[in-house]
Amino acid sequence: MGNLFHAIPEKLENECFEDLLKCEAIRIERIVSRGHQSPEKGWFDQTENEWVLVLEGSGRIEYEDGSAVLLEKGDHLNIPKHTKHRVAWTDPDRATVWLAVFY
C-alpha cells in the first residue's frame, strides 16, 4: 500500500522519479516537479507509449513540431512512442505530481 502524495519534499533540487510498479509490459511512475523543465535541447524519444496524468499542479508538454499542451490537475495525455516531446514548464510555486504509465 502507498500514497501518491506521501513524502513530497517541500524543496526539490531535481525532479523526483519513483517507480511504483514495474514489470515486462508496464511501468507506473510518480514524478514530482517544482519549476523543473527538460533541458532546452533535451527531447524525449521513448521506445514506450506514455500515458500521463497530472494529479496536482500544472505543466506544459511541448512537441518537436512546436505545438504544446498545458496540463492542469486532472488532465491526462497519451504520448505515442517515438513522439519527440519535452517538459517545457512546471509550476514553480507548488509541486506538480504526475502519474506516468509506460506501456
Domains of the chain: 16-102 (2.60.120.10)
pLDDT tens for residues 27-38?
999 999 999 998
pLDDT tens for residues 45-77?
999 999 999 999 999 999 999 999 999 999 999
pLDDT at 42: 80
- Write the DSSP string, 4-71: TTTT--SS-SS-EEEEEEE-SS-EEEEEEESS----TT--B--SS-EEEEEEESEEEEEETTS-EEEE
Whether 95 has a pLDDT exceeding 80, the answer reads yes
Contact (CB, 8 A) for 53 and 37: no
